[in-house]
Amino acid sequence: MNTKPIIEIRSISKSYRIGEAKDYYSTLRDSMGTLFSKKARQDSSVFWALKDVSFSVQAGEIVGVIGRNGAGKSTLLKILNRITEPTSGEAVIRGKISSLLEVGTGFHPELTGRENIYFAGAILGMKRKEIASKFDEIVQFAEMQQFLDTPVKRYSSGMQVRLAFSVAVHMEPDILLIDEVLAVGDLAFQRKCLSKIHETARRDGRTILFVSHNLDVVQSLCDRCVFLEYGQVQSVGPTEDVIRAYMARMNSAASESRIDFPSDETKMFELSSVMLRDSEGAPETVIEAGKPFSIEVEYIVRGTEPSAFWLVAQCMNENGTMVFGSIDTDNNPTLTKNRMPGSYRAIFTFPNSGDLGLNVGDYTLTIRIHQDPTREAIFSFRIEDDIDKYIHRAGVVFTSAQWRVSRLGE
């Protein structure tokens, strides 16, 4: 009986050299001329996306990979999928891999949905007859019947995810790699996908490596978990234990009420500063129960054309449960594609009222630009009730919902 792990990650490191190409219009002669210069050596530096990462996955396991943006999660999956090679170390894969890493990955934009199903199957080494036997299941699960003969370039991101997931999971791979891409699309389809992932692993014995910021989903879905921080493994083990270690690290690293970021003029848009304020507008990390609080975000848009992006606010409690999520385009959908160059201030206010608010306890708040995975502000804050105005009950929120009690027959 073969008991070897289906995935073995052996001391993998991955580095990128940054700062080498500051002028997009430099010629080959310019590049060769500066290659060995002292200035070039000073301007370039090495960034380690992964450093000495080792762990293994047994066949049939669902393993979560968690960590902050820039921790190396996506780089790891790209190495396992042979999209990029490690600088050192190796990944031993004992099975056929299918992946869902980024919206549109693996699809040819000029081909129709129908053609891309056969295209994706061929890439996995399947014969046309094998693909045809799965075709109806793929289309039915994706709920894409009426768009099959439309070029994929005309699909919305949600439609692309529907088709990509259905193709990936129905082609019967031994290993399925899934990145945060499932966050795109409607909630009902996300639930359908998560149910299918669970079924695929439990019934068919397939192995799943699942990257997500949604710790609730990771906890409910995954047998084990890997916590990455700055490209290194911090913890591997039972999901609940690893999430607890991750939240403790998040809280210990986020005790300030204001975070300032250094300017990077190579970015088309970037966060400048983020501040947490109490109901009086003062910078604070201790919030009174039943009182509102706000997040003040300053950011910069560069260039000459409008930029398309959105700000995301996410709050988790000390157990890693997502309490709320909000996007700055919720009140103004047209804002997404109409941010002209300039400096901006955005203020997000959470009512936290006596009717419905956060319960007493510790929380972590993350602010980021969704399209920029390299920069995020993380705050640790506490909701306190010094005067016991609110009766503490189990759960994430408190409410002043009313009970009416009467004696029957009176």
Q: Which residues contact 378 (CB under 8 A, 6 or more apart)?
A: 68, 250, 253, 254, 259, 364, 365, 366, 367
Q: Does domain 7-18+39-250 have CATH number 3.40.50.300?
A: yes
Q: Which residue has the higher pLDDT, 3 or 254?
A: 3
Predicted model pTM:
0.68
Highest average pLDDT, of 54-58, 376-380, 381-385, comes from 54-58
Model pLDDT, residue 184: 57
- In this structure, are residues 228 and 53 in contact, taking their beta carbons and an 8 Å threshold? yes
Q: Which residue has the higher pLDDT, 17 or 72?
A: 72
Each residue of 287-319: pLDDT tens digit?
A: 888 889 999 999 999 988 888 888 999 898 887
Percent of the chain with pLDDT over 70: 86
Model pLDDT, residue 144: 83
Each residue of 47-68: pLDDT tens digit?
A: 899 999 999 999 999 999 999 8
Model pLDDT, residue 31: 45
Each residue of 105-117: pLDDT tens digit?
A: 668 889 999 998 9
Percent of the chain with pLDDT over 90: 28
**Domains in the chain: boundaries:** 7-18+39-250, 258-389
Q: Does domain 258-389 have CATH number 2.40.340.10?
A: no
Q: What angle do CA 196, 199, 203 make, to 5 degrees?
A: 150
Each residue of 173-203: pLDDT tens digit?
A: 899 998 876 665 567 888 888 888 888 888 8
Q: Is the pLDDT of residue 44 over 60?
A: no
Q: How far is CA 240 from CA 64, 237, 245, in A?
A: 11, 8, 9
Q: What are phi and psi of 120, to 5 degrees?
A: -65, -40
Q: How far apart are CA 20 and CA 410, in angstroms?
A: 84
